[in-house]
Amino acid sequence: MQTFAYLIIRTILTICSWLPLPVLHGIGWIWGSLLYLIPNRTQETTRKNLQTCFPEMPSTQINQLVKESLINTACTALEMGKAWVSPITSTLNLVKDSDGLEEFAAAAAGPRGVILLAPHLSNWEIFGFYASEGRRANFMYQPPRIEGLDRLLRRVRARNGVSLAPTNRKGVAQLLTALKRGEIVGILPDQVPTDEGGEFANFFGEPALTMTLVSKLIQRTDARVFCGFAKRLPRGKGFVAIFEQADEKIYSSDIKESTEGLNRTVESAVRKAASQYQWEYKRFRRRPDNSEFYRTKPR
């Protein structure tokens, strides 16, 4: 069954790698629009998250943002063929411009390690390839359940020399060693961690279980921290890679303050392209009072 699932996924990825980006985005627009028009849980989660994070936003604007988010998430899924199957040069050529790259590159060339936060904003895979090109980088990696897909992702993510660190103690040790060597460590900062690896901190004013790994890595290595994403351009014109320094609070020795700084860093990036954030993810599913946040339907 896994082999069949892998073959289907690989075929879809290959077809998507052949299609021009404007065509993929056109398909994404249709797919996302259908998700908006037909009642479904994905749409409900998106709306709930947006109403929570932007409580003052008028309902008409929320509706528009829900639709745009669903479309952009569909585009991200369709772009994975470009990220994973196309030649690495073709993938890198999708990034047409950058903002803040010089400062990031200077930090990466320095003696201190650099933690690069890449939230689920636009296409984080394409951004990861671009940010790590020509640099020694290590990315945290949680293997998918399909074995064939795991082999594919390990192979393609190592195309430009990236080392993958598993999401366990061995992987954390690998990241510590890499940072002490002055290398780059890439982390997706907005995933819900385990209870042991998390601290509740506000995300857009709402308590969210937030990973403490980044805070602990900073304290043990004195690493610099940047956040970045590949902002999707209209009409399939490609992406602009955006880099910015993390919020100063992230360097606090107090874990609570540091995780708040982490979330503020992600917030800053999201506000630059709110419609391209993956609002479909259940970021608030863990609650301080153990309540069921997503059981209550959005307004």
Q: Which two tokens stand for residue 163?
A: 């080392």
pLDDT for the residue numbered 33: 98
Q: Is residue 58 part of a domain?
A: no
Q: Which two tokens stand for residue 198?
A: 């998390």
Q: Is residue 45 part of a domain?
A: no
Q: Which residues of 170-187 are buried (b: 16+ CB within 10 A; e: fewer)?
A: ebbebbbebbeebbbbbb
On whether the pTM is more than 0.85, the answer is: yes
Q: Is residue 81 part of a domain?
A: no
Q: Is residue 133 part of a domain?
A: yes
End-to-end CA distance of the chain: 40
Quick check: 217 and 223 in contact, CB under 8 A?
A: yes
Length of the chain: 299
- Ramachandran angles phi, psi of 294, nearest 5°: -90, 0
DSSP per-residue codes, 208-244: EEEESHHHHHHHHH--EEEEEEEEEPGGG--EEEEEE
- Going residue by residue through the chain, which has 299 residues, state the pLDDT in tens, using 9 for 90 and above: 678 888 999 999 999 999 999 999 999 999 999 999 999 999 999 999 999 999 999 999 999 999 999 999 999 999 999 999 999 999 999 999 999 999 999 999 999 999 999 999 999 999 999 999 999 999 998 888 888 888 888 888 888 889 999 888 999 999 999 999 999 999 999 999 988 899 999 999 999 999 999 999 999 999 999 999 999 999 999 999 999 999 999 999 999 999 999 999 999 999 999 999 999 999 999 999 989 999 877 77
User: How far apart, in Å, are the Cα atoms of 228 and each of 108, 112, 207, 256, 299?
Assistant: 14, 18, 23, 23, 32
Neighbours of 118 (CB within 10 A): 24
CATH of the domain at 125: 3.40.1130.10
Number of domains, the chain: 1
- Of 56, 122, 125, 120, nearest to 266 (Cα)? 120
Torsion sign across C-alpha atoms 279, 194, 141, 3: negative
Q: How many degrees, rounded to 5, is the angle at CA 279 between CA 277 and CA 280?
A: 125
List 97's β-bridge partners, or say none: 240
The CA distance from 167 to 57, in Å, is: 37
Q: Is residue 110 part of a domain?
A: yes
Quick check: 94 and 122 in contact, CB under 8 A?
A: no
Q: Is residue 184 part of a domain?
A: yes
By residue range, what is the domain housing residue 253? 88-276
User: How far apart, in Å, are the Cα atoms of 127 and each of 119, 224, 278, 286?
Assistant: 10, 19, 15, 28
Q: Which two tokens stand for residue 3?
A: 């082999």
- Of 182, 41, 164, 190, nearest to 108 (Cα)? 182
- Of 12, 64, 82, 37, nearest to 236 (Cα)? 82
Q: Is residue 167 part of a domain?
A: yes
Strand-pair category, 239-245 with 95-99: parallel
Q: Is residue 281 part of a domain?
A: no
Q: Which two tokens stand for residue 78?
A: 């369709």
pLDDT for the residue numbered 1: 67
How far is C-alpha 91 from the chain's CA centre? 17
The CA distance from 173 to 187, in Å, is: 14
